[in-house]
Amino acid sequence: MTDFSRMGAAVIGTGFIGAVHIGALRRLGVRVEGVLGSSPERGAAGAAALSVGKAYATLEDLLADPKVDLVHVTSPNHAHYQQVKAILAAGKHVICEKPLAMTSGESAEMVELARASGKIAAVCYNIRFYPLNHHAHGMVKAGALGDIRLVTGHYHQDWLAKPGDWNWRLESDQGGALRSVGDIGTHWVDLVSFVSGQKVAAVFADLTTFIKERQKPVGPVATFSAASGETQTRRIETDDAAMIMLRFEGGAKGVMTTSQISIGRKNSLQWDMAGSAASAAWDSETPDHLFIGHRDAPNQILQRDPGMMNATGAAAAALPGGHVEGFADSFRALFQQVYADAATGARAATSTYASFEDGHHEMRFCDAVLRSAAEARWVEV
């Protein structure tokens, strides 16, 4: 067993997801040495709110700290590229939030830099680490579903459903040209690729911006928080929702929708895979249950229980059956693998977290979606 207390972490970003990272690190026993905010003032305020002892004034100060072994990048998307480059150049391991970069050109360079560095470099596609998604991955690998034929599903939220809702992801210079697809759609694509063992090879996409003007607050707004006070009208170019048909490299076909304007859907990621022998389906809002479908036998609902799961699924679980593992637990499971590999200095053959290569594929997926939507045709990834 790895003694995680010997390892030190620093977190860039003190917002919603940065706090989630810190909570998961503390559960593992990793020392959180400090945080870096978007300004020294916000960093200090974030450190105080999160009970972290140090707020670094600059990235250079963070990287000069010999107690930091691994850096978590939870900053807005536009900052990932330069920050990750500096982290790897400083000889530290890195976990970067998704999407990996703003463009596939940036992510391609990040892949090469990570390879050359010899450091552990992971992308935080945490939804893989709900244990039943690992169980489903093991089922597919063992042939329990047969040949995967059809993959369908969605990722729907409602936190940007009103003209007064605001977040930095709405602006393409901070979040990228794609929003619902880049922010949550890449989670869905990474997850179904992991479960099915097949990458997306081609797309036919339709993107829509339903709310073309929004009210941007003059002051900062945290993710999933309501805005208040003085606002400015801003024209919106990024996608509120998308419909995308998919072709997978192994021959499967699929269709997905993404939405950040589906009222009542707080964080609903669903996938359904139809194989030649059986089917399976999962919903992030009921994460401890996996549907397994049969033609000539009763259908099943597998409640997450390590004693009833395959080895791949059981390895991702931390609690007994009936004790629900949720969003925060998925980060703990992901970080447990990454820090174990960082302790040895190499990725284990059994590790299942998303690599920078996986993150680069999602950036190429986004390129294909943009081109397909613009040209109304199938585009290869």
pLDDT of residue 344 exceeding 80, the answer is yes
What value does the mean pLDDT take over residues 293-311? Answer: 97
Beta strand 289-293 with 268-275 is: unpaired
Average model confidence (pLDDT) across the chain: 96
Tell me the C-alpha distance between 355 and 125, whole Å: 9
Q: Which fold has domain 4-121?
A: Rossmann fold (3.40.50)
Quick one: which of 181, 164, 180, 172 has its CA closest to 237? 172
Tell me the C-alpha distance between 242 and 99, whole Å: 17
Q: How confident is the model at residue 222 (pLDDT cuts 50, 70, 90)?
A: low
User: Which of these ranges, 51-60, 65-74, 109-118, 225-234, has the smallest mean pLDDT?
Assistant: 225-234
Confirm if 107 and 56 have CB atoms less than 8 A apart.
no
Confirm if 135 and 290 have CB atoms less than 8 A apart.
yes
Tell me the C-alpha distance between 198 and 201, whole Å: 9
Q: What is the pLDDT of residue 226?
A: 65
pTM of the full structure: 0.94
Q: Taking the domains of the chain in order of start, what are their residue ranges? A: 4-121, 127-380
Beta bridge partners of 148: 275
pLDDT of residue 229 exceeding 80, the answer is no
Q: How confident is the model at residue 230 (pLDDT cuts 50, 70, 90)?
A: confident
Q: How confident is the model at residue 15 (pLDDT cuts 50, 70, 90)?
A: very high
Question: What is the number of residues in the chain?
Answer: 381
CATH superfamily for domain 127-380: Dihydrodipicolinate Reductase; domain 2 (3.30.360.10)
Q: How confident is the model at residue 331 (pLDDT cuts 50, 70, 90)?
A: very high
What value does the mean pLDDT take over residues 100-123? Answer: 97
User: Which of these ranges, 52-66, 83-97, 157-171, 207-221, has the smallest mean pLDDT?
Assistant: 207-221
Distance of CA 58 to the CA centre of its chain: 26
In this predicted model, what pLDDT tens digit does every residue of 239-292 receive, in sequence order? 999 999 999 999 999 999 999 999 999 999 999 999 999 999 999 999 999 999
Which one-letter amino acid corresponds to residue 190?
Answer: D
pLDDT of residue 219 exceeding 90, the answer is no
Q: How confident is the model at residue 1 (pLDDT cuts 50, 70, 90)?
A: confident
Q: How confident is the model at residue 218 (pLDDT cuts 50, 70, 90)?
A: confident
What value does the mean pLDDT take over residues 104-111? Answer: 98
The secondary structure of 202-265 as a DSSP string is: EEEEEEE-S--EEEEESS---TT----S-EEEEE--S-SEEEEEEEETTS-EEEEEEES--TT-
Q: What is the pLDDT of residue 225?
A: 64
What are the φ/ψ torsions at residue 67 (nearest 5 degrees)? -80, -10
Of the CA atoms within 13 Å of residue 57, those in its CB half-sphere come to 1
What value does the mean pLDDT take over residues 60-76? Answer: 98
pLDDT of residue 179 exceeding 70, the answer is yes
pLDDT of residue 227 exceeding 70, the answer is no
In this structure, the dihedral spanned by the alpha carbons of residues 271, 24, 353 and 11, taken in order and rounded to 10 degrees, is 120
